[in-house]
Structure 1
């Protein structure tokens, strides 16, 4: 997971920001629609929608866009029949990948994901073919500025969380899946609404890959994340600081 975070930081610096922003908005809008469709248009009574709204605000999405997406979802508008789909497969070096998507066309998304794997040194498998390499967890994300690492760790443990991971931008609190809501509520009392809270995946162990494998894997992840249907890609790789420095250079 740490390796994936490093990759994201590299791509953030290299990507064209306008294009990246448009892709982020597309993914956030889909999450707003499906959250409102499943749980209603009131964020105070719909935790998933509240999280989606918070994420949209962090991305500086215009208020009108957020409100229109919520209305579309709550109204069950035609063309907004998104469903959640999970794809699993292996990338270069035997790295396991989980791809989570929101799609209105399973055939199209499956074809595009399969093509991405096959063109970049991977192979798409069946559902549950790699999930055993990961733990299902609750994940709550706050910006780094809300608290220092020690204070956040203390608050997370007191709230019933299992672990905390901090980088140069965020604190990520991990919980058992059935404790996600309880921990989120407790942390909100101290730090307000999180940037994100959702069920996610954490690798049980990581696989070390070399420079050539990393280049191909990062391209695969980039292509997958560039797909409008794909919401998140999780991988269990590990890259040495030396290799990361070469790729970053």
Structure 2
């Protein structure tokens, strides 16, 4: 779990940098458009759209951009038609990798993803090859150095989380997808600021990596997340925190 949690926190920090380049806005707009197309343009009756809009506001996306993305989804204004796809594959040492992709040209995206996998010690597989290793859950990560099990359990009970997981720098609260928004609001009402909060795919087991395998896995994750059509990447790798920080800093 440590690798998953650590990468999730790092991805949140990276999103702030991406936002400055406009990349995060593009991905958020795609998600809002797809959510509106599937479930309608009213966030009150569309939980997925409501969550996407909340994330967009947290990244300071202008309301005009959000409104236009919704209108593209509902067909009120013209725009690209994004198809939502799931892809699965393996990284070094058989690490499981799942992708959520939103693309307007699947015939272009698939070979590009296959190339990224092959260049970084992995391979793109068939749908279903690794998805059975993951559970869809809400995850809210909090920096809380020195947190005790009793304190973490107390917070989980008070906020309505299903479970908690202690790690080196804090805790993760785990929820069902349906309860995620309620638990998140409860956390924020206590003046706690999550380092990561979203409905995600949590691996049931993990694969320990070090050395060259760890280095190659980080390159694969970064390359996949850099692809414009990739909305989310999930994996079950477990790289020691110190090594992961070193690799992410660009000092292998």
TM range (shorter): 0.7 to 0.9
Rounded to whole Å, the distance in 2 between the matches of 1:151 and 1:185 is 20
Q: CA deviation at 1:10?
A: 6.0
Q: Is the 8 A contact 1:137 1:174 kept in 2?
A: no
Q: Is the 8 A contact 1:54 1:196 kept in 2?
A: no
Partner residue, 1:162: 162
Aligned length: 241
Partner residue, 1:224: 224
Q: Is the 8 A contact 1:139 1:172 kept in 2?
A: no
Listed one character per residue, the Cα deviations across residues 22-60 of structure 1 (whole Å, up to 9, x for unaligned) are: 221111110111111222222222211111111001111
Alignment partner of 1:139 is 2:141: no
Partner residue, 2:244: 244
Give the alignment's Cα RMSD to 1 decimal: 3.5
Provide closer, same or farther for how the CA distance between residues 140 and 44 of structure 1 changes in structure 2, counting only shifts above 3 A: farther
Partner residue, 2:60: 60
Listed as ranges, the gaps of 5+ residues in structure 1 are none
Rounded to whole Å, the distance in 1 between the matches of 2:226 and 2:184 is 32
Q: Is the 8 A contact 1:163 1:174 kept in 2?
A: yes
Q: CA deviation at 1:188?
A: 3.4
Q: CA deviation at 1:138?
A: 2.4
SS at match of 2:22: helix
Partner residue, 2:100: 100
Partner residue, 2:113: 113
Provide closer, same or farther for how the CA distance between residues 172 and 9 of structure 1 changes in structure 2, counting only shifts above 3 A: closer
SS at match of 2:116: helix
SS at match of 1:233: strand
Q: Is the 8 A contact 1:36 1:74 kept in 2?
A: yes
Partner residue, 1:81: 81
